Copies of this chain bind each other. A is one copy, B any other.
Amino acid sequence: MKDTIKFVLDESRIPRYWYNIVADLPSPPPPVLHPGTMKPVGPGDLAPIFPMSLIAQEVTAEREVEIPGPVRDIYRQWRPTALFRARRLEQALETPARIYYKYEGVSPAGSHKPNTAVAQAYYNREAGVKRIATETGAGQWGSSLAFAGALFGIEVQVFMVRVSYDQKPYRRALMEAYGARCVPSPSTETQSGRAVLAKDARHPGSLGIAISEAVEVAASREDTKYALGSVLNHVLLHQTVIGQEALAQFDLAGDYPDVIVGCTGGGSNFAGIVFPFLGAQLRGGRKVRVVAIEPAACPSLTRGKYAYDFGDTAHLTPLAKMHTLGSTFTPPGFHAGGLRYHGMAPLVSHVKELGLIEAGAREQTKCFEAGVRFARAEGIVPAPEANHAVLGAIDEALRCREEGVSRAILFNLCGHGHFDMQAYIDYFAGKLTDQQYDEAELAMALAGLPSVRAA
């Protein structure tokens, strides 16, 4: 049919391996350090909170990690996801650009997160784990792990950042529909939570605090482990099914992206779509421009320091070298809750330092404007997080129009906004503002970085 808009692969084309970019990088990422000794952590240090199979994936340098059969079996429900050509958006923008998007919102939980949630739940069940504690920002991750837990008979407890917990009651209900227990963070259930509440009983919470709470619960119980929805190497690894499928779909389309745009919070959906293309480039394939778009109110890649820092606020995690705003930094309560994290995935940070990607920051009202524009052309209402990628792609397409050049633009539409409609209600009512972080707080958080103090 003329003007193909949907590139589909059958289930035999679900990738058989996750792709590990470490194997193709000119230098390995800096090691994760123990905060006491400042020496690289070993598997034993992580064993209280992760099953050994995931620790092995965290440190492997192998290019390919086989996807277990039971995980692929579940992927089949929604994978391969379609790659769409956004022809109606192109027309609306009057751009010569060829805009493509990979749509991950068709998973049961509505985002890319089940790609890793299912894998993590599988490995935990294999290790005999009965309960997983985790954190969630906007709720995309928490609901995905709740879904995966239901499939593998694992109890899931989710610490949900309080500002999102209050903004998104439907997302909480989704977790409960899957059978998970969801509590607002900071909570009274952990020492970390109680410490924060003692200072500020109305604290809005942050991903850093919620991580502390979940890690504390996991570390204190024998049958309980911890799971993270982004940032870590093994999480990024699991997401590479997205980019691998996209590579095959561009073959079908007889095209190749000139530029790839992804939104970045912890970095997992970005790495998922980008790393397989960067890998192809690093192995001698075609060069692709890559742009990470982050929220201006939480700009780790564009305003953070590349330094060793804790992954959480209570400093229960090891130290990772990453672009960070400082683990004590609390971002303002904007609507893209999934991007409200002080740090960036160490691997994404490393790739940025190697000059393989660019980064930009955008204000939230412009992102929602782009999301509505996209919805009216393509019919899909994006998640607030995904709106950053939509805006980045639209900006690139408009540049094509100005320059009179047709480029192929690919972005990852990492999730739909069905559970985030309060943000759209606020946007339509003119209640959304472009929130600013506190410059003094940022300066203090950066000054307090462990590597800065150590220097």
Contacts and interface: CB of A to CB of B under 8 A. Distances in A.
Given A76-B6, A88-B151, A379 B173 contact: no
9 contacts: A1-B11, A6-B11, A77-B379, A147-B379, A151-B379, A169-B422, A170-B170, A177-B376, A179-B376
A372 interface: yes
A445 interface: no
B3 A177 contact: no
A140 to B, nearest CB: 13
Interface stretch (A20-28, A102-110, A159-167, A432-440): A102-110
Contacts of A380: 108
Closest 5 CB pairs of A and B: A108-B379, A418-B418, A170-B421, A173-B421, A150-B376
Contacts of A6: 11, 76-77
Nearest to A118: B379
Nearest to A14: B1
A173 B88 contact: no
A173 B380 CA distance: 13
Nearest to A176: B428
Interface in A395-426: 416, 418-419, 421-422, 424-425
A8 interface: yes
Contact of A174 (B73, B110, B150, B421): B421
A380 B110 CA distance: 10
A10 interface: yes
Given A108-B380, A178-B375, A375-B178, A428 B170 contact: no
Contact of A177 (B11, B147, B179, B375): B375
Interface in A105-159: 106, 108-110, 147, 150-151
A381 interface: yes
A197 interface: no
A65 interface: no
Given A106-B106, A424-B177, A76 B1 contact: yes
A256 interface: no
Nearest to A114: B379
B73 A84 contact: no
A149 to B, nearest CB: 10
A378 B76 CA distance: 12
Given A108-B379, A108-B380, A173 B424 contact: yes
Contact of A109 (B12, B151, B379, B422): B379
Given A177-B375, A177-B381, A379-B109, A76 B5 contact: yes
Contacts of A179: 376
A27 B375 CA distance: 45
Contact of A422 (B5, B170, B378, B418): B170
Interface in A1-59: 1, 3, 5-6, 8, 10-12
Contacts of A5: 73, 76-77
A281 B353 CA distance: 66
Contacts of A418: 110, 170, 174, 416, 418-419
Interface string A347-387: 00000000000000000000000001001111111000000
